[in-house]
Each structure stands twice: as structure tokens, then as C-alpha cells.
Amino acid sequence: MGSAKDKKRHLDSGTVTSVLKRVIAENGREHVKAYAFAIFCLVVVAATTAFTAWIMEAVVNEAFANQRADIVWLICGAIFLAFVLRGLATYGQSVTLSKIGNNIVAVYQRRLYTHLMSLSVGFFSESRSAHLAAQISQNVNGIRDVLNLTVTSTARDFLTLIALIGVMVSKDAVLSLIVFVVAPPLIFALRYVSRRLRSATRESIELNSHVLGAMQETIQGIAIVKAFTMEDQLGRKVEDLISQAENRANRIARLTERTAPLTETFAGFAISSVLAYAAFRSIYDGVPPGAFFAFVTALLLAYDPARRLARLQVQMERAVVNARMIYALLDQAPLQRDKPGAKDLVVTEARIELRGVSFSYASGDTILRGVDLVAAGGKTTALVGPSGAGKSTIISLIPRFYDPSEGSILIDGQDISEVTKASLRRHLAYVSQQPYLFEGTIRDNIRYGRPEATDTEVEEAARLAHAHDFILAQPFGYETPVGENGVTLSGGQRQRLSIARALVRKAPILLLDEATSALDNESEAAVQKALESAMSGRTVLVIAHRLSTVVNADKIIVMHEGRVVEEGTHETLAQHQDGLYARLNNLQAPDTGA
């Protein structure tokens, strides 16, 4: 992720035209028939509107001045038919454009989700999830609005205005000239407003996403908020964000609605000038009023499309800012693509080897320094050491959540950077320190480990994870909803469900990232029994917070400041009194029983 200035430059880099071209290129072909029908309907709306103005001369002159009853019925029938056609055409274009717009929103929501899933864990580590979700929800409609504004403005408003101007010119060229005299100043004024609106809209979107993000984070951490009486502190923070968003929204309203006095002033000057000119011609020259009425009708009917077109650039700027922010996400390149020609991982004994692995995060902090280690196939290898030693980073490198800066990681002799990520992760099961449960039932959450797993396999995994009994004690057994992130379950229960999810995957490699560190002694004992079942027959790489949980590991690797400093079993390492493991073991002597 770049800096805030880089993001701002990216959002400002594309003009309205360039964004419009991209939107049309990505969506135009798929909806060309529907747009053609909508445009046809809009042309009918424009034509019938112009016809209504044009026929007013005949209405006034023939029906009222000449009093020709034989033509009245024909005129009235034509007007009735024009209104019926306009009503049907308005309905047709409105429904069609709504369906297109809804489909575009759905397509981009799918694209965004798929693309976000292709991005690395690093992207999400550097992005606030609440801010990201709020940004997506606010901006996805921008793509739809860009297209719909373009179609309706071009096919309806522009054509209607041109047709009505044609009626006006045909009825009285001099009156038309009066109208056009004040148009250029209006256009320049509206362009000035739209430029100022662009930056205000972008800032408003950012502020609103911060507001929604702050609220979401407060809700997610409500227990901490209440426990530490943070209500007032967070309330002031949210209040400040809301005030900033409100002020920015007010500024946008002022800029957006500034078009109203401009267009109303223009309309007032034009109509009053026309009325004065026409009145004097009728009074002193005896000109029949039919053409004048037709002209005024056309002028009044032209006001709405002219007003909408006057606001078009302002509305388009807002839609384009939204669209740019969506494209900024879609253009975020995945950093860990599969290499061309990458093959599927073939696992035999599931032996894991790290050769000279170094790693630094984007911030520049070096975490691993030339790590060499081997986790034998079918054995349990434990990583121990003080916080910040690089243990969790190794666990994150094996599924390729990140890629090493130097060195290579091999599984059964195959460099994992040369195989597909999908095949790599199919052979892995992962249990994190903080188990995460998804919306749905207990059965659903276990089955996420392997979607094709049968109910019998799900329940067998739960038994191995020592979760079956507490699941049956739930109100609806396996069909009990877990609530948001398993809020209805205890920490130990959530962890055992995550172990069951790992077991049902039937993967030959199991990664355990301090799976018991946040649990009380009773919960830890239950989870440890579950882990013993999970480890059987698998290659296990486990991070140990409490050494008592890994005393039976086949190999213990001791890490310090990003390096491997010791290797061996619990018995051999504990005997080296000068070693780091022995010191850690002595500190935890009551736990290990040493």
C-alpha cells in the first residue's frame, strides 16, 4: 500500500473521460442491447416532449384564434398519444436502466470480493478492515452512476434540449438568440463549481468511511470498551469524525446546490426577456400569439433538461470519484501470483525445510535472518523462544501468506514458490492463536475445512477435537448458530471447533500458532487433548507459548532475534543450563514439572 499522498495522486490521475471510457469498455458490450432499448425509449421521450411544444402553435392559432373545430379533435388526439408514448417510454427506460445498474453493482461486488481474496495477507495487515468495508459499500454505486448519467443525459436530456431548441428557433430565431446570450457565463460558472466539488467529494468519502470504520471497531470491541470505560474517549473520537464528515457534507451541499441560483437566474432572465420582447411585438406589430406560445412552451419544457445538464458535470464528478476509488482497489496488483507454469504440489512424506530464509516486512523491520531448519515428515516440530523471535513469521511463510526476502522453503524437495498456492494450501491445515468462526452454524464452521465433507466426517472431526459433547449440549446441537465470530461460545470451545475444522480437512501438514496461549488451564487441557489427536500421523509445526505443551515434541527448535539458536528434544535442551531453552524452562518450571 502506498502513502496517503500516493493514493490521492492515483485518485486524481484519471479524468472523467478516461474513467468513462474504462467503464464503457468493461460494461458496454454486455449491456449493449439493453442500453439500445433504453436509448430508444429516451429518444421517444425527447421527441414527444418536443412535439408537445411544437403543436402549441396549432392549439392557440387554430383552436382559439381561428376556432376550427374540425382540427381540434386531431390536435387533442395527437397530444394524448404523445403523452401515452412518453409514459410508456419513461417506464421502459427507467426499468431497463435500473436492471442494468443493479447488475453492474452486483458484477463489481463479485469482482471486488474475488480480487480482494487474491490479495496477500500483507495488504489486509496494512489496511483497516472496517475502513475497507465502508469504502467499498459507499463507492461501488459510482460505476453504475457514471453509465446511467451518461446515457440519460445524452439520450434524454441532450436530445430533448436539442429538439426543443429546434422548435424555438423554428418559431422565432430572435427570441432564441436572447436565450443563448447568457448561456456561456453559466457554463463557465458550473465548470468552476464542479472542479471545487471533486476534492470535496473525495474528502467526504474518506471521512464517511472513517466514521463507519470507527463505529464498527467500537461494536467489535464493545467488551473492552466497557471494561476500560472508554465510552467517553471513543465517543469524542467518533464525534470529531462525525463533525468533520458533517462539515464536508454541508460543503458538498453548498457546492452542489450552487447550480440552482445560477440556473434559476439564467432561466429568469431568459424567460422575462422573451416575455417582454413577445409582448411588445404582439401589442405594436399585431403578431399572432400561436408561435409565441409554442416558443414559451418549448422554453419552459427545455428548462428541466437544461437544468439537469447543467448539474451533470457536478454529478459526474461525484460518481467518477467513487468509481476511481473502486478501481484503485481493483488495480491493486496481487504480490504473490503463481509463477507461469507453476505445478501442483505433490506431497509424499510432508517434510518441510527452510534454507537460508530471511524476511522483512514492508516497514523495513527484519524478522528472520538466514533461518535453516527441517521439520521431519510425520513428526512434531515445535518452535519456541521469546516474543519477537520470528516464530509466527515462519508459520505465515509456509502457506505463503508472505514470501521470504531471501532463501527458499521446500516441502518434499519442492520449492513452494514454484507450485500453485491452491495446491500448497490444500495440503495444509491451520489453527491460529485467535480462532475465527464465521456466520452460520457449528456444522457449517467445521465443514469450511473441507466443503465436501459428510455429516459423519464433520462429527468424527468434532469427536477427535473433543468438541462433540459440548456441541450436543448446545440448544440445536450441530445446527446451533455461533453468532458473530462465535460470540455465544467460550474461548476453549471456539478453539476446539477450529481444531475440528483443521481435522476435517485431512491435510498432511498441520500448522499450530500458539493455539492454547489465550486459554485458562481447564480449557487448555481440553484443547491439548484435541491437539494430540490432531497431531497423530501428521507433520506438525507448532509454536509453543507454554513449554509444557511441547515436552513430547519430536524436535524443539529454539529461536532468538530471527535466528535458530538451539535444536533438540526437551530432555537434551533442558540439560544445557547455559542455553536459552533451559532458562525458559526454568522460568516455567511449575508448568513443565521440571
Asked if residue 409 lies in contact with residue 415, where contact means CB atoms within 8 angstroms, the answer is: yes
Asked if residue 538 lies in contact with residue 544, where contact means CB atoms within 8 angstroms, the answer is: no
d(CA 16, CA 587): 65
pLDDT along the chain (594 residues), means of 10: 44 64 84 89 89 82 68 84 91 89 87 84 72 71 81 82 86 74 66 69 72 75 75 84 83 73 72 73 70 79 78 75 82 81 92 94 82 93 89 92 92 94 91 84 92 93 88 93 80 87 90 71 70 80 81 90 92 85 76 48
Angle between helix 231-257 and 290-330 (nearest 10)? 140
User: What sections of 14-171 are H helices per DSSP?
Assistant: 16-27, 32-54, 56-58, 69-118, 121-126, 129-139, 141-151, 159-171
The upper half-sphere exposure of residue 87, i.e. CA atoms within 13 Å in the direction of its Cβ, equals 6
The whole-number pLDDT of residue 13 equals 42
d(CA 399, CA 416): 9
The whole-number pLDDT of residue 177 equals 76
d(CA 197, CA 519): 53
Q: How far is CA 320 from CA 19, 158, 517, in A?
A: 7, 20, 48
In what side-by-side order are the strands of the sheet with 352-360? 366-375, 352-360, 406-411, 414-415
Can you tell me whether residue 406 is helix, strand or coil?
strand
The whole-number pLDDT of residue 519 equals 59
* Residue ranges with strand state E in 272-424: 352-360, 366-375, 380-384, 406-411, 414-415
d(CA 171, CA 165): 10
Q: How far is CA 41 from CA 32, 53, 94, 304, 550, in A?
A: 14, 19, 9, 18, 73
Q: What are phi and psi of 128, to 5 degrees?
A: -75, 125
Can you tell me whether residue 44 is helix, strand or coil?
helix
Domain borders along the chain are 4-330
- The residue among 167, 120, 165, 110 whose CA lies nearest residue 140 is 110
Written in H, E and C, the secondary structure of 153-178 is HHHHHHHHHHHHHHHHHHHCHHHHHH
The whole-number pLDDT of residue 8 equals 44
Asked if residue 347 lies in contact with residue 429, where contact means CB atoms within 8 angstroms, the answer is: no
d(CA 136, CA 119): 15
According to DSSP, the β-strands at 414-415 and 406-411 are: antiparallel
The secondary structure element, H or E, covering residue 336 is none
d(CA 251, CA 256): 8
Residue 396 identity: S
The whole-number pLDDT of residue 334 equals 77
The whole-number pLDDT of residue 107 equals 87
The whole-number pLDDT of residue 196 equals 72
Query: What count of other Cβ atoms lies within 10 Å of the Cβ of residue 376?
Result: 15
d(CA 443, CA 500): 10
d(CA 225, CA 100): 44
Q: How far is CA 419 from CA 122, 262, 333, 367, in A?
A: 20, 63, 20, 25
d(CA 374, CA 393): 16
- The residue among 591, 23, 52, 93 whose CA lies nearest residue 327 is 23
C-alpha cell at 409: 522453503
According to DSSP, the β-strands at 380-384 and 406-411 are: unpaired
According to DSSP, the β-strands at 428-431 and 509-513 are: parallel
Task: Give the end-to-end CA distance of the chain in Å, rounded to a whole number.
Answer: 48
CATH number of the 4-330 domain: 1.20.1560.10
User: What are the residues whose beta carbons fall under 8 Å from the beta carbon of 584, sequence distance 6 or more?
Assistant: 384, 385, 386, 547
